Amino acid sequence: MSVARRTFIQLGAGATVGILFTPTVWKALDDVSIWTQNWPWIPKLKYGAVEAKPTVSKMCESGCAVKVRTVAGEAFGTMGNVDNPLSGGGICPLCANGVQVKNSPNRIKAPMLDGQEISWEKAQEVVAEKLAAAGSKVAVISGDQTGTVNEVFSALLNDKGSDAFYVMPCDMQAADKAWTGLMGGAGQVGYDLEGADLVLLAGADALESWGPTVANLKSFAANESGKFIFAGPMQTKTASVTSKWVPVPAEGMAAFTLGLAYYVLQAGKTVGAADFDLFRSMVMSEYSPAKVEAATGVKADQMAALAKQLLTASNPVVVPAGPVAAHGAAFALNLLLGGAMKALPEFAKAIPSAMSRSEMLRADILDGVNTDLLFVYEANPAYALPEKIKAGFTVAFDMVQTETTATANLVLPSLHPYERFDDLASPYGLAAATYSLGVPVSKPSVNAANAATFILGLADLGFETFEEVLGAKVDAIGADMDALQGGEAFVVEGETPVAASLAANVLGKAAVPVKGTGAVGLVPYTLLSVGTANRATTPNAPCTISNNQLVGDHMVVMMGSATAKQLGVSVGSMVKLSGGKGECEALVQIFEGVMPGVVAAPLGLGHTVGDEFSKGKGDNVYKILTVSSEAAAGASTWAGSTVNVAKI
Amino acid sequence: MSHFKEFKIKWGMVIDIDKCTGCGACMVGCQVENNIAPMTKSDPYNYVQALTKPRDDASNKLRTLTWMNVYELSNGKSFPEHETAYLPRPCMQCGNPACVPVCPVVATDKNEEGGIVSQIYPRCIGCRYCMAACPYHARYFNWWDPLWPEGMDKGLSPSTSVRPRGVVEKCNFCHSRYLEAKDKARLDGEDPMNLPEGAYTTACADICPTKAITFGDLNNPEHKVHELIQSPNAFRLLEKLGLHPQVYYMSEREWVRKQGDNYNAEAGGHH
């Protein structure tokens, strides 16, 4: 049969018209569209009752008061807890990703002895045996700055006749060494950032990573009439919102603060401390504006203007960070000014034989740890302190795999903060002693256990479970358990600080800048989106890390154009930084908010163990930090680290 | 010709740049709320991964999915005169959106009460004309299937469907929260078209520790945003283009305001 051309065209036109008018094609296209958006590997949502349950999150160092959002009992998100003064509704970027860390494949799923999965009972036997053999050669490194879990660990140490309790290097430790150690003060120092009319952040990156960050941010937002000034070697995120940035090298912060004290003393300010006269003569002779300018590079007229602002403020406060000497100098200045520094009472202990917080902060981990049996609780010293720790047998408690769990003999999975009982007692920096409670709001995802309950099974400390310890703690401090479980905080106002001494003898020697011998100064800085010494980048955070920290898998260091010219590098140059006992590779970025002669590098990158969101990203700046001794203050510090920079 | 359309309710945001520290909490909160998958290099469902190119992870900022993005601004001066600021950037929900008229399949529109620019994912054919049209770079192409590493898909928010590869995504002012707030108002016997301050807010505004982000109905005098946008320090990004964004910014710093308008504020603006 032949088909005439006319017939063919008629059929074709008919078919076209038919296609246009039949819904079949459009329906099919619509179905294809929907079908291809519902591939079986695209996750489906879970529906059910949505709730918000209060608890605490301990991803960041101070901890955040949060509400965990659940759907049909499964946690899916984290929000701030407006009922708790630590939060005000906000949370930090680390804690905001708490649920994602809880569900991460990086969670440790069961106890592991030398890489082999074992039962909790077997783990208990192994640790009991090691504990018996170690005698008093037992030590603890805790990554928790605020928890009563530390009481359990320190009570175990006491039971074994050891006082080797270590915390990772932190400002709370330097503050305590200065305040209770050198100056004879009592309690924990706090800063009323909301009530102050002038806040000088002397190195404290308080609106990004220092202290109780979220509470600081909340105070900053609430304090509309107050003025915030940031002093430090780099224009940090904190500096970006303060009214002024005063460039001061990190190792010169103590001298700079005493330079301000010079003017304050000159204005006739006094304080009732035994060595006030000695302090006055020491500052007036050793920290005159000209001498401080020569030592730190900060202009005398700039210090004079700043001191004038402090003197005219009705409620000023200086917030220090870094070495013990910088803390001591700031505390002395605050005492002279009589402003918004507070002394917080310590909450009563739940376990009588446990150390006080001040006792827990006494040992200096930068001096090194050498022990037969080491317990590491949610800390990562193998990443941040690789050269410092030596132990015959290491037991590491953590939620997720880290460099420390990878090298530990026994790894014990701890419950995630949303799965366990926990607490936050007076995060360092708050103006009032504040206690918040954490309760389980989600079922455990893995075969984990509460680390403190495990420890209580090893010795007779008077409690069977950590929940009982927390009950005793709440009773001891006189708080209401129901209110705490409802997400409220128990708050005791801070007091006017009183010191026996201004540590004149020590500060006179310790405040002199000590700098390494490298070509340029190193400014390590912490961003919570990148992580902390204990916690790596969380799953949703990598896209928040800017090109000033990470490009591809390469770390980025920032420096001013003058420094780049001096080093012969430019934007995008690949460089090797050598310092301490290691080396780092990085790309160069020009950022004029870094002091000349200084290179700024982000802490927290360069993990070799962990999940795909943190592992292999950038390089580890802890490797190139140099520990120097604050001999007069009896402490060690990373301030004053320097590096050599070579183009590669 | 302007396509500006007025709405009785106009949800909007005022972002105080002088309070934003660029911490990134808003970005994380947005991703969690809206089920934006953390970008992974490997695809657990691709059993021939070895034969295919690895996926981009979040290190590749050209292919990240961040409905809320935070930009760093610099005054361009040298040390010690240098200043920096941070600018969070959600979708501007323009009154006269550039993205809407260019969409060939009507997958994006601004007809909903509240003035939110919607994106209908099943209609989107991924041509990306809207991305090219948006001067704020607020639209994102989903280059990769949204895959969560094993176990992490348990933590999905019930609010927002997961979008597949090949569609354009954008911030919708957490629209599901608007629907929930209206439902709640109806259940409580209140007027869903007159929600009080705070009844509906976005995840980024909720989570921001400095409360730099304020959210509300720009047309409602009882909402704080209504007052904030009257401030002489308030401005909108690229105002001159005449897109009428519903996101306002505030800064006391003149250089920030100037950069917000690409230094064109004094060039006559849009008429």
The ipTM value here is 0.93
| Distance from the first to the final alpha carbon of chain A | 79
As a whole number of angstroms, the longest Cα–Cα distance in chain A is 121
pLDDT at A25: 73
Lowest model confidence (mean pLDDT) among A189-198, A315-324, A555-564, B2-11: B2-11
Q: Which parts of chain B sit beneath pLDDT 70?
A: 1-3, 44, 46-52, 264-271
Contact A542 B156 (CB under 8 A): no
Distance CA B88, CA A575 (A): 31
Contact A91 B25 (CB under 8 A): yes
Contacts of A2 by beta carbon, 8 Å cutoff, 6+ apart = none
Location of structure tokens 């209770």: A180
- Distance from the B203 Cα atom to the nearest Cα atom in chain A, whole angstroms: 9
pLDDT at A511: 85
DSSP 3-state percent helix, strand, coil across chain B (nearest 5): 20, 15, 65
Strand partners, A200: A229, A318
pLDDT at A343: 97
Q: Which long-range contacts (CB under 8 A, 24 or more apart) does A471-479 make?
A: A472/A350, A472/A351, A473/A148, A473/A151, A473/A347, A473/A348, A473/A349, A473/A350, A473/A423, A473/A425, A474/A435, A474/A437, A476/A347, A476/A348, A476/A349, A476/A350, A477/A347, A477/A348, A477/A435, A479/A435
What's the pTM value of the predicted model, to 2 decimals? 0.94
pLDDT at B270: 43
Q: Give the pLDDT mean for A483-507.
A: 96
Contact A542 B39 (CB under 8 A): yes
What is chain A's mean pLDDT, rounded?
Answer: 94
Q: Give the pLDDT mean for A554-563.
A: 97
pLDDT at B269: 46
Location of structure tokens 């008077």: A462
pLDDT at B218: 96
Nearest to A37 among B25, B147, B164 (CB): B164
Q: Give the pLDDT mean for A273-301.
A: 96
CA of A597: how far to CAs of A252, A558, A637, A640, in Å? 14, 11, 20, 12
Residues of A with Cβ-Cβ distance to B205 under 8 angstroms: none
Distance CA A171, CA A638 (A): 12
Distance CA A84, CA B218 (A): 30
Task: Give the number of other CB atoms < 10 A from CB of residue A297.
Answer: 16
Q: Are residues B15 and B228 in contact, defined by beta-carbon separation less than 8 angstroms? A: no
pLDDT score of A140 more than 70: yes
Q: Are residues A152 and A177 in contact, defined by beta-carbon separation less than 8 angstroms? A: no
Contact A539 B20 (CB under 8 A): no
Contact B82 A96 (CB under 8 A): no
pLDDT at B52: 67
Task: Give the number of other CB atoms < 10 A from CB of residue B7.
Answer: 18
pLDDT at B2: 54
pLDDT at B88: 98
Q: Give the pLDDT mean for A74-79.
A: 95
pLDDT at A584: 96
Q: How is A345-402 classified by DSSP, letter by letter?
A: PPPPPSSTTSPPHHHHT-S-GGG-EEEEEEEEES--HHHH-TTTEEEEEEEEEESB--
Pairing of strands B247-250, B11-16: parallel
Q: Does B2 touch chain A (CB under 8 A)?
A: no
Q: Are residues A522 and A577 in contact, defined by beta-carbon separation less than 8 angstroms? A: yes
Q: Give the pLDDT mean for A301-318.
A: 97
Per-residue model confidence as pLDDT tens digits over A622-632: 999 998 888 88
Lowest model confidence (mean pLDDT) among A67-71, A381-385, A604-608, B45-49: B45-49
Contact B79 A592 (CB under 8 A): yes
pLDDT at B3: 62
Nearest to A105 among B24, B151, B209 (CB): B151
CA of A336: how far to CAs of A174, A470, A501, in Å? 20, 39, 12
- Distance from the B7 Cα atom to the nearest Cα atom in chain A, whole angstroms: 30
Distance CA A320, CA A328 (A): 9
A105 CB burial (10 A radius; 0-12, 13-18, 19+): middle
Q: Are residues A232 and A251 in contact, defined by beta-carbon separation less than 8 angstroms? A: no
pLDDT at B50: 62
Buried b (16+ CB within 10 A) or exposed e, B140-168: bbbbbbbbbbeebbbbbbbbbbbbbbbbb
pLDDT score of A123 more than 80: yes
Lowest model confidence (mean pLDDT) among A468-477, A628-637, B162-171: A628-637
What is the dihedral angle through the alpha carbons of B97, B98, B101, B103, rounded to the nearest 10 degrees?
A: -110
pLDDT score of A60 more than 90: yes
Q: What percent of chain A has pLDDT over 70?
A: 99
The pair of three-digit structure tokens given for residue B41, joined into one six-digit string: 């290099």
Query: What's chain A's Rg over C-alpha atoms?
Result: 28
pLDDT score of A260 more than 80: yes
What residue type is B270 in one-letter code? H
Best of A216, A240, A613, A619 to disrupt the B interface (most B CBs within 10 Å) is A240
Strand partners, A136: none
Q: Give the pLDDT mean for A435-461.
A: 96
pLDDT at B266: 58
A16 CB burial (10 A radius; 0-12, 13-18, 19+): exposed
pLDDT at A646: 96
Confidence grade of residue A6 (pLDDT, cut at 50, 70, 90): confident
pLDDT at B119: 93
Contact A93 B23 (CB under 8 A): yes
Distance CA B248, CA A423 (A): 40
